[in-house]
Chain A
Amino acid sequence: MKRILLAALLLLASCSKSGTPDLQISGAWARETVPGQTATAAYMTIHNRGTGDDRLISVEVAAPAKAMLHASESSDGVSRMREMGGGLDLPAGAAAQLKPGGTHVMITGLGAPLRARDVMKLRLRFEKSGPSDVDVAVGAGGR
C-alpha cells in the first residue's frame, strides 16, 4: 500500500496540472505582405485561465498556405528561426505571448498578398482543448 501511495505521489509531483484548461486568445494579428511575398508571421496572446495545462500542437490555415509554429532567437548577434516540433506549452494560469522576435506562427505559401485590414483565419489545435478558430487581423508591416 505504501509503495502504491509513494508511486502515486511521485506521479502527482512529476505530472502537470490535470484540471481543465480554459484558453483565451487575444490580440491576434499578422504582418501584411506585398505582391510576390509568400511568407508572413502571425502573433497573439494565449492565456490559460483554467486549472489544467494545455499545449498548442499545431496551426492550420487555408490552402495553399501552410502554418507552423516557429521561434526566433538570437545569440551573438545572429538571429535564428526554428520550427517548434514539440508545440507550445500553455501552463495553467499563464499567458503565452507570440510576438515579433519570439514565438510566432509562420505562414508560408500565401496565394495572394495579405492587405492591412484583411482578416486571416487560423485554426489552432490544442492537446486538451481541441481546435479553436481565430480571426487574425492583418496589420501594417512596420508594426
Chain B
Amino acid sequence: MQPVRIILWALVALALAAFAILMLRPVNEMPTRQQPLAISSIGGPFTLTGSDGKPFSSTELAGKPYAIFFGFTNCPDVCPLTLGRMVKLRKELQSGDRPFEILFVTVDPERDGPADVGKYAELFNSPVTGLTGSPAQIDQVKKQFGIFSQKVPDSSRGYSVDHTATVLLFDRKGDFSGTISPEEGNKAALAKLKRITA
C-alpha cells in the first residue's frame, strides 16, 4: 500500500507544480509589455522628490505642457540619448524659451537620490527636472503612467534596469496627449510636441 501512496502523493505534487507554473507564467510574460491603461487615466496628480530633496508636487506643472521620461542615472546610453533628443526637439520647436517641461523620473530610487537625479539632469545644458522618491512613491507613479521597469543582473554595476523608453506627453490641462517612442522620426515627434504646446 505504501508505495502506491507515495506515487499518488508524487502525482499530486507534480500537478501542483504544473498548476503553479501555469499560474506564474502570464505574470512573467506581462512585464515585457506595458500595462494597458485607459488613455484618460494615464497620469494624474503625484508627489515625488526634487533634486533639492524637497517634495515635488505635480501641481507645480499646472498650466504647463510637459514630457515625462522614466530612466535611471546609471543608464549611459538610452536615457541620455532620449533626454538629449527631447532637449533638441524643444529647441527646434522655436516657440518661446521653454515651450514644455522635461521631467526625468528615476526607476532606480534605491541608487538615485535627489542629488543624483539633479546632477544627471544638468548633463543636457537645458532645464530638465530630475525626480526621485521612495520606492513606494516611484511604484505608484510608474503605475499611474503605465511604466514598466525590472532590475536585471549586470556584472559591471550589480544590476541594470530594463524600462519603458517611451516619452509620455501631457498638455497644459495635464491631460495625456500622446507618446514619443525611440524608433519614431523627429518629424512625427515634433508634430506631437506642437500639439501639446499649442
Q: What's the tally of chain B residues with a CB closer than 8 Å to chain A? A: 40
Alpha-carbon separation in the docked complex, A81 to B159 (Å):
10
Listed in ascending order, the chain A residues whose CB lies under 8 Å from chain B are 31-41, 66, 68, 70, 72, 74-81, 83, 100-101, 104, 106-109, 140-143
Listed in ascending order, the chain B residues whose CB lies under 8 Å from chain A are 32-34, 73-78, 80-81, 83-85, 87-88, 115-116, 119-120, 122-126, 148, 152, 154-157, 160, 162-166, 181-183
Residue of B nearest to A142 (CB): B84
- For the complex with contacts A31-B76, A106-B77, 12 further pairs of A-B residues with Cβ separation under 8 Å are A32-B123, A35-B119, A41-B80, A74-B165, A77-B34, A77-B164, A78-B34, A81-B160, A100-B77, A141-B80, A141-B123, A142-B87
Which residues of the other chain, B, contact A70 by a CB distance below 8 angstroms? 77
Q: Quick check: B81 and A34 within 8 Å, CB to CB? A: no
Q: Quick check: B154 and A76 within 8 Å, CB to CB? A: no
Q: Quick check: B32 and A75 within 8 Å, CB to CB? A: yes
Given contacts A40-B76, A142-B84, contact A76 B33 (CB under 8 A): yes
Given contacts A36-B115, A36-B116, contact A41 B77 (CB under 8 A): yes
Which residues of the other chain, B, contact A106 by a CB distance below 8 angstroms? 76-77, 156
Q: List 7 A-B contacts (CB under 8 A).
A: A31-B123, A36-B115, A37-B120, A79-B78, A80-B162, A83-B154, A142-B88
The 3 A-B pairs at the shortest CB distance, nearest first, are namely A142-B84, A79-B165, A141-B123
Q: Quick check: A39 and B164 within 8 Å, CB to CB? A: no
Which residues of the other chain, A, contact B183 by a CB distance below 8 angstroms? 74
Residue of B nearest to A79 (CB): B165
CB distance from B146 to the nearest CB of A (A): 10
Alpha-carbon separation in the docked complex, A74 to B162 (Å):
9
